[in-house]
Structure 1
Amino acid sequence: MLSVQPVSEAGFAAMAEEWRMCLEASDANPLFMSWPWLYSWWETWSQVLGMELVLLGVVDQQGKLVGIGPFCRRVLVTPAGIRVARLYMLGNAWRLAPTVRTEYCGIIARRGYESDVTAAIVPALEELGWDELVCSDVPDDRLENLRAGGFDERRGYRTIHRTDDTGIRINTVGRFGDWLDGLGKHTRLKAFNRRAYLKKRGELAFLGYDEGRDEDFFERLNGFHRNRWGKPAFDREALRFHRLLLQRLHLCDGEPAMSLVLFNGRCVSVLYDLLVRGCRYNLQAGYDEEFSTKVSLGYLHLGFAIEAAFSHRATNAYDLLAGTGKKQFYKSHFHGEAVHFSTFQVVRSPLLKALYGIQAASPPFVARAFIRRVGL
């Protein structure tokens, strides 16, 4: 009853509204699976990485878009001379090059059409020339959805798990004070109580970026990161991506929620958040690492932002996303729900299945050397 239609690059560029309507009627992530995010990613990195668009639209008998399969393809030739046609979920370039991180990846399907859309997309993908499909940062339930659609070992596929990661999502429906009470005493001290310590010593302010603008936000963010990590948070391509995204964010009913912390009129911390359909996403942060040995500016700024999310009636969650800190998984201290992500390969090439089988059967140091030599 459903048909699959390949979407051209011109069609991708023109389908923002149709994409928005399909996404709103689905349970897919409203930021990372949105047209503004994925089209901005494609516009930024497709030519740099030599990607071919593999975008599949699923329509019903009336021609209404009920599902989207967002993929792209790259043919690689490894140092060992092995030709590999690799499919990626749009928004990631696993082991190819660093880009922005796209989380909550998966197939988009209107509610009630999930199994039918997956069952339509999988055969359409099978008709294309590829050796392996890489799915990055997929919520755990999406793996089972793909298997149900036909990507399982009974049909000759091999699924190889590569990495698992965890994010933290805070429910901001309720009282901020109740959430604070649920924190450990050390986290509560760093995220909230240190405000009193700073206010005794000067003027402390939490401002939206538009209220306290004194220079380019991303230049300030990159400056803090160079001092802390030795490199900017966003390189040239990533900066282009985020500027394009901010221009288009309204097309997925989103808005920027960037903020500053000032102490005695000086910016000491920045937070790059986006608010989309009731969830505030924390994409990046930067602060003056040498500000004070008694104050953790990262925790302090997050405390302000989470309080703002509790105070905003239309916001129901604050998502810290996946990733660890410099020394520890600090996000787990913030009394939120864990969200588990998987990165895995679906392999159908007999040669690659054999090579990955050798890797799996080898001791770790041998496996690493083997994969480096083969170039996979």
Structure 2
Amino acid sequence: MVNTRTDKLFNKYYRVFVIPLVFILYVFISYIINPFSRYWEYVSHLSVSKTLFELFISLIVSWMIAEVSLAVARWMDKWLSWDTQPLKRSIIQTVLVLIAVFLLLNVLDYTLFLILPPPPPELAATFDKTDEWQFFVVCSLVSILITAVHTGNYFLKRWKTSMLEAAQLQLDAAHLKETAMQAQLQSLKLQLDPHFLFNNFSTLSALIEEEPKLAMSFLEKLSRVYRYMIANLNSDVISLSQELNFIDAYAFLIDIRHGENVNISISVSAANRNKGIPPITLQLLIENAIKHNIASTQQPLYITIYDEGDTLIVKNNIQLIPHTLPSTGLGLKNIRKRYELLFDEAVDIDNHDGEFKVRLPLVDF
């Protein structure tokens, strides 16, 4: 909108700026080509009124040269684009401009001959054919320069347009990427492990019959866990402190389900508790460890959550269940994908020396 308004204003008022510039250019080139021309001596002896009249005629010539040159260039814009055949366009446009200037000068000369009185003998004797050709060459050079400026302005507009289009495409691509990322994050957050649902509802069902009071506490903690999950569906990052508070409620469910067979310990510095982490990350890692490892009185499962620098480490001892359990593969893939989308960070997984470690970068937010 701004560019269009600017173009309209330029098209409306360009004569106010262009014609004086063309006139100055015309005089300058005339002088540079032949500073010793007899014309300059002739002009220097004219009266003020005759000098102003000469300047007026020169201004009219400059205006007509500018109009004809720009008209040829605009007509060529419609007929032959610079984008398709630039060399052909350049040659044809130059030839047409020279022809147009030649015709213009002849028409102008004939018109002035009819309108103005015959020049005095001393003026006629001042000029020869060389001066006439010099006049034509100067007018042709000025006309070619005008069309060159017009062409440069055309390419400048095309460059600005292409840059704006490229910037708009990049902006659209960024918006699409952000939209896709948000949709994918929502999908990842909703991918709760079905084992988590099945195991907790099975435990609740058993407690209702055997220990109703404990079942009420279990249900309260379970509802707290789900409130946390639902509350953070629209959050990409939360504080580690919030996540650890959630894990406290979740650890109660684990303790009811497994007793002392699963031991969860947490040791995180106060400074790191204020840093960020994707929600439900620790729950997925704990559930993943329980799902794939033996947790019994003889072989307790130890899960430790601690920090090292700006990294949170979730570690468990490896004692894999002998038979293969059906796995959706959502846990670790979910965490890795969220870190990749949100922070462009990698989650490091170490599986050596009987320990399974997952290193989670902590972020400032």
Normalising to structure 1: TM-score of the pair? 0.20
Normalising to structure 2: TM-score of the pair? 0.20
Higher strand share: 1
Higher helix share: 2
